[in-house]
Amino acid sequence: MIQLNINDQLYELDVEKDMPLLWAIRDVLGFTGTKYGCGIAQCGACTVHMDGVPTRSCVTPVGVTQNKKITTIEGLNSKTSRAVQAAWERLDVVQCGYCQSGQIMAATALLEAQPDPSDEQINAAMSGNICRCATYVRIRAGIREASRALV
Amino acid sequence: MATDRIVNVSRRQFLKVGLAAGTGLTLGVYLPTLRSAGAAAGPGKAGGAMFKAGTFEPNAFVSIGADNSVTVIAKHLEMGQGTYTGLATLVAEELDAAWSQITVKPAPADANRYNNLLWGSTQGTGGSTAIANSFVQMRKAGAAAREMLVGAAAEQWGVSTSDVTVRDGIVRHQATERSVTFGELAERAGRQPVPVEPFLKDPSEFRLIGSHVPRKDSRDKTHGTAIFTQDIQLPGMLTALVAHPPRFGATVKSLDASATKRVKGVTDVVQIPTGVAVLAKDFWSAKRGRDVLRVDWDESKAFTLGTDEILTEYRALSKNPGAVARKEGDTDQAMARAARVIEADYVFPYLAHAALEPMNCVIKVSGDGCEVWNGEQFQTPDQMAVANVLGLKPEHVKINMLYAGGSFGRRANPQSDYVVEAANIVKAIQGKAPVKLVWTREDDMRAGYYRPMYFHRMKAGLDDAGDIIAWQHRIVGQSIIAGTAFEASLAQDGIDQTSVEGAANVPYAVPNITVDLHSPKLPVPVQWWRSVGSTHTAFAVETFIDELAVAARRDPVVLRRTLLKNHPRHRGVVGLAAEKSRWGETLPPNRGRGIAVHESFNSYVAQVADVSVDKDGSYSVDRVVVAVDCGIAVNPDIIRAQMEGGLGFGLSAALSSQITLNAGRVVQSNFHDYTVLRMSEMPDVEVHIVQSTESPTGVGEPATPVIAPAVANALAAATGKRFYELPLLVTG
């Protein structure tokens, strides 16, 4: 049995230790906000927070996540995440939306670590998250707007 | 004025289309009722009632509940382009609803009620047609509902309908200060006669059209609650992964599934026409099962050429004239008397769509019908294809439309490839469980259906004064429509119009023009990719004209505007982009500015790109100024978003994306070797929309083909070097 702490809730899962956290979250627990895009930590659609750190759940074996606090898009509820999501909605950042959970997880982690990031810091924090609709202009604007609300 | 032989061609014109080039949109608008004739339709309940009793359903597109909710039924796929918002804007405008009371629901697959008016009897989304074909239809749907609400209020109050006004979802009688909500009127409105020809607003009265109207899908997509095919979970559902052959055309010779069947969670291994499917209770188990599957492939009939060999063949073909797509004057004679002849060859790679949600499909068989959960661009062709596999009538295939996590043309497959694969899997297990077919990124990347590889050969003759007197453009590349149901409607005189669009209708006034085409047949599956033929023709035309401008010592903007004398809308966007970008100002060293203009899907886009080039040959695209003329701007903010995203999509192909083949095997497999645009590479984008009273045209695709030539021209301005291949590599 694997014990997981997801969104402040403890779960016991009967899965192999090498199952990636992504599939435990999606297929076993049914939280579908976290997406599959590449399976090799290239696109960032599967980003969750593990002890507050943005983590690619598609390459993180569920076995190494025991005793860690995992947050998915469904569990976001901080001042920062609310500012990010409010900015995303106000600017209509999304297009197809498939990557956006990962983008929001990455942006929230960035602003929690650095509430007033430079362009370079935004690029560094966000360039692991692919958006095929190329909503990058608005993601950047959304981060800046959330930052203004927080600082 | 020269008559373009090829005008405004693409998917929007397939089947029996009534859109005459240059005449604007004339749509036969028909407002079917929500409950179609014979709506019962099998266990899947295709069609049938969508709303509870007491709801006002004036037609198939609008429903007003007693709770004052207004539901707009969207016949098009929402894949990011904003159509749910756009379609709802049109309805809400004429209905005078409050935007906050509107929700959008996907329509079921039903060609009788939800066909694309530009595609005859087919329901589907593509060719940037959603708003163009719906502009009048959705407004009439809203206007009809409004007239019935007004009639109901007048009847209730015993007043004249002419004294009843509607604003933001409230129906009023000013003189007596009475008002009522839509919800309160819903039941009575349902008893009003349905207007045959509802009255539409004059554009000067528009309150939502042309204004900022927020997207309807932002909240769900910002909170992880929007549902995509990947997210569907049904009781007892199995997840299927398929082992596909390593080369196009290979088949299964023999199969050893013993190790696979020992993997915990794996339930079935079945052979299907496209390979071998492994089914399990979840994705990870199916993946582990497939990893140990042993398939011996028969590759005796497989395709074994590589990209280099294909290119050699294409170059050889380009030596000879092809099928003529356009011929005006005498190009050979003019070329012979030209003072200077300039030639250039262009190479374009295969491209994968690489939507972030890899292809997938959920299917469940029950009783004598089936249900599909999918976000797809070709609802009714897919419905037909599934019915054929399962031996059902199309109306017994219920398609539950979901959001698509990108598509860019991929979910409009003429063979319904991945949907048919899912149907074959559920058939192979005799429908014992619902099946979710999931392609991994690698499966998606290597499945083919690429934007074809192309080779272009261009040649122009300049006279003593530097004027272009001859233009020859030869294109070599696979036909997208060959062998598909679209061949009859999209081929003219043996020419695949999607291969030459953007080239055969080159807008520049040159007296002698020849455009011809070779369409070699290869077994590499190909398909439309956001902006289709324009993805390559715009690059060849727009970089070549730039090269000619430099050769003739003309300013690229001035030359374009001169040669666009018969094309005012092209001219207009060139002028606007040039003005807003401060075209002509002196730039610092190692910086370059380039322009390109292109019409696709009846929308006109010009882009001015600014680049910086380092000594080592690396470069960045710093800023892009966009001017777009898409007729009436229904949702300006969505137009801006599509310009930003559309050029960003094109920038991936400009900078680095390509699919190559080595001895028939696809080399790339995932985003580490099929690289796409990332945040650090995204330029600042400034969008300017031309004020227009023309009928609205699409914006999903037209920004995409313009960016690569604009960037190539900017790089040429910065480096003095011309660029003839995509992706653009400054070094080497």
ipTM of the complex: 0.98
User: A63-118 pLDDT, tens per residue?
Assistant: 999 899 999 999 999 999 999 999 999 999 999 999 999 999 999 999 999 999 99
SS3 content of chain A, % helix, strand, coil (to 5): 45, 15, 40
Contacts of B573 (CB under 8 A, 6+ apart): B597, B604, B605, B606, B627, B628, B629, B690
**Averaged pLDDT for residues B113-131:** 91
Output the pLDDT for position B58: 86
CATH 3.10.20.30 spans which residues of chain A? 2-75
Q: CA-CA distance, B420 to B69, in Å (whole number)?
A: 37
Mean pLDDT (chain B) is 92
Same domain membership, residue B471 and residue B411: no
Residue B19 lies in a domain: no
> In the structure, what pLDDT confidence band is assigned to residue B367 with cuts at 50, 70 and 90?
confident
Q: CA-CA distance, B27 to B133, in Å (whole number)?
A: 7
For chain B, what is the total number of helices (H) and then of strands (E)? 19, 29
Return the residue in B219, B221, B704 with the most chain A beta carbons within 10 A, the one to mutate for interface testing.
Answer: B221
Looking at B3-90, which runs of residues are DSSP E strands?
Answer: 56-59, 62-64, 70-74
> Which chain A residue has its CA at the smallest distance from B680's CA?
A123
**Averaged pLDDT for residues B572-583:** 98
User: B10-39 pLDDT, tens per residue?
Assistant: 333 333 333 223 222 223 455 676 554 333
Output the pLDDT for position B33: 65
CB contact under 8 A, B283 and A73: no
Same domain membership, residue B395 and residue B380: yes
Asked if the C-beta of B378 comes within 8 angstroms of chain A's C-beta atoms, the answer is no
Distance from CA of A126 to the nearest CA of B (A): 6
Asked if the C-beta of B217 comes within 8 angstroms of chain A's C-beta atoms, the answer is yes
Query: Percentage of chain B with pLDDT > 90?
Result: 88
Asked if the C-beta of A29 comes within 8 angstroms of chain B's C-beta atoms, the answer is no
CB contact under 8 A, B685 and A100: no
Give the distance, in angstroms, between the CA of residue B109 and the centroid of all CA atoms in the same chain.
19
Residue B727: asked if its preceding bond is cis (omega within 30°), the reply is yes
CB contact under 8 A, B357 and A140: no
Type of residue at B405: G
From B556, B344, B368, select the one nearest B459 (Cα to Cα): B344
CB contact under 8 A, B684 and A137: yes
Domain end point (choices B380, B411, B438): B438
> Which chain B residue has its CA at the smallest distance from A133's CA?
B645
> Which chain A residue has its CA at the smallest distance from B441's CA?
A38
Same domain membership, residue B234 and residue B214: no
Same domain membership, residue B131 and residue B41: yes
Same domain membership, residue B583 and residue B473: yes
Q: CA-CA distance, A46 to A56, in Å (whole number)?
A: 6
Distance from CA of A36 to the nearest CA of B (A): 7
Q: Which residues of A touch B231 (CB under 8 A)?
A: 26, 32
Asked if the C-beta of A41 comes within 8 angstroms of chain B's C-beta atoms, the answer is no
From B473, B464, B492, select the one nearest B331 (Cα to Cα): B473
Residue B492 has pLDDT above 90, yes or no: no
Q: CA-CA distance, B649 to B646, in Å (whole number)?
A: 5
Question: Is CATH 3.40.50.2300 the right assignment for the domain spanning A79-150?
Answer: no
Output the pLDDT for position B414: 95
Same domain membership, residue B248 and residue B161: no
Same domain membership, residue B281 and residue B133: no
> In the structure, what pLDDT confidence band is assigned to residue B368 with cuts at 50, 70 and 90?
confident
Of all helices (H) and strands (E), which one includes residue B106?
strand B102-106
Q: Which residues of A touch B230 (CB under 8 A)?
A: 32, 35-36
Look up residue B317 and give its two tokens. Answer: 């073909």
User: B409-465 pLDDT, tens per residue?
Assistant: 999 999 999 999 999 999 999 999 999 999 999 999 999 999 999 999 999 999 999
> In the structure, what pLDDT confidence band is assigned to residue B660 with cuts at 50, 70 and 90?
very high
Asked if the C-beta of A97 comes within 8 angstroms of chain B's C-beta atoms, the answer is yes
CATH code for A2-75?
A: 3.10.20.30
Same domain membership, residue B184 and residue B80: yes
Residue B729 lies in a domain: no
Domain end point (choices B415, B438, B461): B438
Buried b (16+ CB within 10 A) or exposed e, A103-135: bbbbbbbbbbeeeebeeeebbebbbbbbbbbbb
Same domain membership, residue B681 and residue B648: yes
CB contact under 8 A, A97 and B637: no
Contacts of B80 (CB under 8 A, 6+ apart): A94, A95, A96, A97, A133, B404, B406, B407, B645
Output the pLDDT for position B41: 34
Nearest to B230 among A36, A74, A95 (CB): A36
Q: Which residue has the tokens 């901080």?
A: A78
Provide the domain limits for residue B150: 31-222
Nearest to A37 among B80, B226, B441 (CB): B441
How long, in residues, is chain A?
A: 151
Residue B11 lies in a domain: no
The burial class, CB within 10 Å (0-12 / 13-18 / 19+), for A102 is buried
Look up residue B620 and give its two tokens. Answer: 């960045």
The burial class, CB within 10 Å (0-12 / 13-18 / 19+), for B171 is buried
Output the pLDDT for position B268: 98
Name the DSSP class of B439: -
Say if CB B598 and CB B506 are below 8 A apart: no
The burial class, CB within 10 Å (0-12 / 13-18 / 19+), for B201 is middle
The answer to whether the Cα torsion of A34, A36, A39, A42 is positive or negative is negative
Contacts of B76 (CB under 8 A, 6+ apart): B83, B87, B116, B125, B130, B134
Same domain membership, residue B368 and residue B472: no
Asked if the C-beta of B686 comes within 8 angstroms of chain A's C-beta atoms, the answer is no
Q: CA-CA distance, B207 to B191, in Å (whole number)?
A: 28
Q: Which residues of A touch B283 (CB under 8 A)?
A: 23, 26-27, 36
Distance from CA of A39 to the nearest CA of B (A): 7
Would you tell me the crossing angle of helices B636-655 and B704-719 to the nearest 10 degrees? 50
- In DSSP notation, B586-619 reads ---TTEEEEEEEEEETTEEEEEEEEEEE-TTS-E
> In the structure, what pLDDT confidence band is assigned to residue B731 with cuts at 50, 70 and 90?
low
Same domain membership, residue B199 and residue B344: no
Q: CA-CA distance, B495 to B662, in Å (whole number)?
A: 29
The burial class, CB within 10 Å (0-12 / 13-18 / 19+), for B654 is buried
Biggest alpha carbon–alpha carbon distance for chain A: 44
- Show the 3-state SS of B132-165: HHHHHHHHHHHHHHHHHHHHHHHHHHCCCHHHEE
Contacts of B309 (CB under 8 A, 6+ apart): none
Give the distance, in angstroms, between the CA of residue A114 and the centroid of all CA atoms in the same chain.
16
Say if CB B408 and CB B676 are below 8 A apart: no
Residue B7 lies in a domain: no
Residue B168 lies in a domain: yes
Residue B377 has pLDDT above 90, yes or no: yes
Same domain membership, residue B281 and residue B252: yes
Residue B730 lies in a domain: no
Question: Which range, of B7-11, B191-195, B704-708, averages the lowest pLDDT?
Answer: B7-11
Residue B82 lies in a domain: yes
**Averaged pLDDT for residues B66-72:** 95
**Averaged pLDDT for residues B672-692:** 97
In Å, what is the CA distance from A100 to each residue of A146, B170, B307, B355? 15, 36, 35, 13
In Å, what is the CA distance from B270 to each residue of A13, B266, B421? 29, 12, 12
CATH 1.10.150.120 spans which residues of chain A? 79-150
Q: CA-CA distance, A92 to B27, in Å (whole number)?
A: 31
User: B594-649 pLDDT, tens per residue?
Assistant: 999 999 999 999 999 999 999 888 999 999 999 999 999 999 999 999 999 999 99
Nearest to A92 among B354, B403, B637 (CB): B637
Domain end point (choices B202, B222, B242): B222
CB contact under 8 A, B224 and A30: no
Distance from CA of B161 to the nearest CA of A (A): 38
**Averaged pLDDT for residues B510-536:** 97
Say if CB B371 and CB B502 are below 8 A apart: no
* CATH at B69: 3.30.365.10
Number of structural domains in chain B: 3
Looking at B188-318, which runs of residues are DSSP E strands?
Answer: 238-243, 251-256, 266-272, 275-280, 294-298
User: A27-70 pLDDT, tens per residue?
Assistant: 999 999 999 999 999 999 999 999 999 999 999 999 999 899 99
CB contact under 8 A, A96 and B641: no
- H-assigned helices in B254-339: 258-262, 283-291, 307-317, 331-336
For chain A, what is the total number of helices (H) and then of strands (E)? 5, 5
